[in-house]
Copies of this chain bind each other. A is one copy, B any other.
């Protein structure tokens, strides 16, 4: 059994989940509801003083869980790959300034080449960013994405591949972000979550649900309990590894973004308590 959820202290919400809110609105509402953590999407930092933004979030007692999202390393030319690496290095500096201990990596895929080749470029990309991550004490979490995104978004599509990559790079600063939306279908998931924990690579846990029918593979994610993912079961596997971090709600949903965001937040908290 997964541990019962007593309060919102281990609940983290991604700013993208409540996209219509600006960062002040989001952080106010999260804090007022006792939400313990916030994962900041990079777009909300545009035009802001990043250090002051971190101070503002900390003043509301929100843990900054991670900065989302780096990656997109594969490309069909050396110069494009260099641009991606430089941008990830810049993001490491932003995370340090913000006070986020971790960056989530959506690793990317270049559709004109094999997934294997893209994975090689991902490894090289992460290795190029790694010294900067170590210097600034920022962890890098590889997020395997659903195979439906293997064309352009990620050549890493299973926990097995993410584990392989993290173990090859073999640094305490490189691990894996487990997202139920991407991974729920995989019959090797329990085994690979266990392996991830054994290697101290389980860095983050993202939750939502897979609705059916799905209107849109990208922006029709469901609230926990609304679809076919057994979130409590996967949370149990994650906690069984000793993982004690946040349960991060990351929902892209045209439907929910069109709602009053206070009502949506209420739904998130209800689903977190009863269906996660």
Chain A residues at the B interface, C-beta cutoff of 8 Å = 111-112, 114-116, 146-148, 150-152, 157-158, 160-161, 184-187, 210, 212-214, 217, 227-228, 230
Contacts and interface: CB of A to CB of B under 8 A. Distances in A.
Oligomer copy total = 2
A112 to B, nearest CB: 8
Contact of A185 (B147, B210, B227, B228): B147
B115 A185 contact: yes
B228 A111 contact: yes
- Secondary structure call for the A interface: loop
16 contacts: A111-B227, A114-B230, A115-B187, A147-B147, A147-B148, A147-B185, A147-B186, A150-B184, A150-B185, A151-B212, A151-B214, A152-B212, A158-B187, A160-B187, A161-B187, A214-B217
Nearest to A112: B228
A210 B157 CA distance: 16
A213 B150 CA distance: 11
Nearest to A110: B228
A1 to B, nearest CB: 16
Nearest to A146: B147
Lowest 5 CB-CB distances: which A-B pairs, in order? A151-B212, A150-B185, A111-B228, A147-B185, A148-B148
A112 B230 CA distance: 10
Most chain B CB atoms below 10 A, which of A150, A185, A210, A217: A185
Given A115-B187, A148-B217, A150-B185, 8 more contacts: A112-B228, A150-B228, A151-B210, A151-B213, A151-B214, A151-B227, A152-B212, A152-B213
Contacts of A115: 185, 187
A100 to B, nearest CB: 30
Nearest to A156: B187
A116 B111 CA distance: 32
Contacts of A227: 111, 151
Contacts of A213: 151-152
Contacts of A210: 151
